[in-house]
A and B are shown apart, each in its own frame.
Chain A
Amino acid sequence: MKKVIALCLAVCLALGCAACLSGCGGEKTTLYVYNWGQYIAEGDDDSLDVIAAFEEKYPDIHVEYSTFDSNEIMYSKLSNGGITVDVIFPSDYMVGRMRQEGMLMELNFDNIPNYQYIDDSFKNMAYDPENKYSVPYTWGTVGIIYNSKFVDEADVTGWELLWNEKYADKILMFDNSRDAFGIAQYLLGFDVNTTDEAQLRECAAKLMEQKPVVQQYVMDQIFDSMENEEAWIAPYYAGDYLTMVEENPDLKFYRPAHQGFNIFVDAMCIPTCCKEKEAAELFINFLCDPEISGQNMDYLGYSVPASASKAYMDPEVTEDPVAYPSADMLEKATSFNFLPEETARVMESLFMEARNS
């Protein structure tokens, strides 16, 4: 019995010390950053560790970094409430939705002087017309990534490649309703921002038709599967293709310009559950610093909305047509707008049906 008591005391003592040690760091502000997975340079492959650089510049701020897989996951986590998040990175249509639902705080641009570097073409976008709530982080396009070792170039004719039975079980598909419906809409020639339920049902039928050839519905798992050739065809974001091709040079990227494709902006916003607004604005400002943003984007492969940053980037990256398509190509791109809640709900439940049919 004595031994047990001694052991308990020892454990208490150890815990006490640990608690003291972790609490002895002074009064640091903790900043909760909630970003997409693989969406900031973290110091691997000789890149800049952005968060470490920020913490070095502002030693009183400690960054708690966590990631999400899709806009919808981030949205549901925030709307369920009960958490503190200071900076989020939603895409355009999600900025619109959260803005309309009052989930975002107005930014104080006096604290974000680096906003001046953002190109005018990325200011006052449709999702935030007065530019009060968001600062663009990256932009990019969606296309098809395919493995040229296994996929015949003659089959790469458009979005229908994702329905090609020849490659059954080697095709991956988006695991979020908006991107998945977008592809069906481009293929069927519909408007990607439609609220027409009949059209959405047709898209769902098209997606259901695709299911037998789909290997899996995934998001960031696409990296592994495409790199190690477990899958050969997947729709994904251009910036991530540039990361994947470094691991597997047989991968190619294709944008079906004749059918249309998605162009998106991912922005930085402060949600209403933020507790450290000023620190959050410092963080946003830091990420807009041309030198930091240049090095960050160099690693990410996504396109930068501030031309000033390009001076700090590898010219090979800034001249790559995958990341920076020609003006002609960009003309064929459409962006996703914010959909009314009822439409978003119908789309999600149709996607569930198609996926689980």
Chain B
Amino acid sequence: MKKNKTGFLSIPYLIWMTAFTLIPLCVVAYYALTDPATGVFSLRNVRELSLYMPVLWRSIGYSLVSALLCLVLGYPVAYYIAHCGHTAQKFLYMLVMLPMCMSFLLRTLAWVGLLQDTGIINNILAAIGLPRLRMIRTPGAVVLGMVYNYLPYMILPLYATIVKIDGRLIEAAEDLGCNGVQVFARVVLPLSVPGILSGVTMVFVPAVSTFYISQKLGGTDTVLIGDVIERQFKQGSNPNLGAALSLLLMILVFVCTGIMNRFGGSSEEGSVMV
């Protein structure tokens, strides 16, 4: 009965979700399943999706690689911050957040200036007599852009999880004869799984649907699914196909989140926060 008394508190959120998420989702589904020319029900767009499967696989591949790289880079950082003193923690936490205060578009554009053939890095290399490197317009540049932009989304949930790990558990493990590696592998790491799952989801989901990063840092063969969707709407070629692609992407994201939730479901703070 206690729940019912506070239920009304969620009403504003429910209205918000209905107006700006649920109804638009239905509109997307409607467009995805209608013919662009006649507006009647048709599976034409769904059939055309197969044309873009290679692009979708590429997007998923790049995003997974980015999420894993973020994990490898972000875990030690989060671990370190969580074990600093209280003031240092606050300060470092702010440092991680700091890049997010500047426009994501600008930060990506800055990488173009660094990486391009006539960019800062190549000009320095040329000035000291080294050969110029081909950096921009490679898959690596796109992954770099993703890792750079989404790394804070990995560090923050990891930090939040690690900082809550009960120090007594670690002491207990040490008392029972675990060495440092064993403490980490058998106590700390399993307890940080919810954070890892959160982080991976929070990096993977925006990365898989991004379009700006690949347009600026990628070449003609690193087109991602987000680029295709953006173009279907913006260039007015076929918004219905764009809607079908968006729907496919959304289903994919839901499935991923679902799987993540299932894995993390058993532990205490199991639910993945998205």
Q: Do A and B come from one complex?
A: yes
Instruction: Annotate B129-144 by CB proximity to A: 1 below 8 A, 0 otherwise.
Output: 0000010010000000
User: Which residues in B have their C-beta under 8 angstroms from that of A177?
Assistant: 235, 237
Question: Cα distance A70–B235 when bound, in Å?
Answer: 8
Cβ A217 vs Cβ B237 within 8 A = no
Q: Which of A214, A228, A229, A348 contacts B237 (CB 8 A)?
A: A348
Q: Which stretch (A71-79, A115-123, A154-162, A317-325) binds chain B? A: A71-79
Question: Cα distance A272–B15 when bound, in Å?
Answer: 35
Whether A209 sits at the interface, judged by CB under 8 Å, is no
User: Which residues in B have their C-beta under 8 angstroms from that of A76?
Assistant: 233-236, 239
**Interchain nearest-CB distance for A257 vs B (Å):** 29
Question: Cα distance A230–B228 when bound, in Å?
Answer: 25
Question: Cα distance A147–B213 when bound, in Å?
Answer: 28
Number of interface residues of B (CB under 8 A): 25
Cβ A353 vs Cβ B51 within 8 A = yes
Across chains A and B, the number of contacting residue pairs, with CB separation under 8 Å, is: 60
Cβ B118 vs Cβ A352 within 8 A = no
Whether B29 sits at the interface, judged by CB under 8 Å, is no
Cβ B236 vs Cβ A215 within 8 A = no
Instruction: Annotate B46-57 by CB proximity to A: 1 below 8 A, 0 otherwise.
Output: 000001100100
Cβ B118 vs Cβ A345 within 8 A = no
User: Which residues in A have their C-beta under 8 angstroms from that of B234?
Assistant: 73, 76
User: Which residues in B have their C-beta under 8 angstroms from that of A228?
Assistant: 118
Whether B219 sits at the interface, judged by CB under 8 Å, is yes
Question: Cα distance A35–B247 when bound, in Å?
Answer: 33
Whether A211 sits at the interface, judged by CB under 8 Å, is yes
Q: Which of B52, B118, B237 contacts A230 (CB 8 A)?
A: B118
Cβ B235 vs Cβ A356 within 8 A = no
Whether B220 sits at the interface, judged by CB under 8 Å, is yes
**Interchain nearest-CB distance for B255 vs A (Å):** 24
Which residue of B117, B118, B231, B235 has the most chain A CB atoms within 10 A of its CB atom?
B235
Number of interface residues of A (CB under 8 A): 26
**Interchain nearest-CB distance for A175 vs B (Å):** 9
Whose C-beta in chain A lies nearest to the C-beta of B218?
A216
Interface residues of B in 26-40 (CB under 8 A from A): 36-37
User: Which residues in A have their C-beta under 8 angstroms from that of B221?
Assistant: 211
User: Which residues in B have their C-beta under 8 angstroms from that of A169?
Assistant: 134, 137, 219
Question: Cα distance A118–B191 when bound, in Å?
Answer: 76
Cβ B219 vs Cβ A215 within 8 A = yes
Instruction: Annotate A334-357 by CB proximity to B: 1 below 8 A, 0 otherwise.
Output: 000000000001001100110110
Question: Cα distance A349–B221 when bound, in Å?
Answer: 18
Whether A176 sits at the interface, judged by CB under 8 Å, is yes
Instruction: Annotate A192-233 by CB proximity to B: 1 below 8 A, 0 otherwise.
Output: 000000000000000000011011110000000000111000
Question: Cα distance A176–B234 when bound, in Å?
Answer: 11
Question: Cα distance A75–B233 when bound, in Å?
Answer: 11
Instruction: Annotate B172-191 by CB proximity to A: 1 below 8 A, 0 otherwise.
Output: 00000000000000000000
**Interchain nearest-CB distance for B238 vs A (Å):** 7
Selected A-B contacts with CB under 8 Å, 6 pairs: A73-B235, A80-B239, A176-B235, A216-B219, A230-B117, A352-B237
A-B pairs with lowest CB-CB distance, top 7? A76-B236, A348-B237, A72-B235, A356-B223, A230-B118, A214-B220, A230-B116
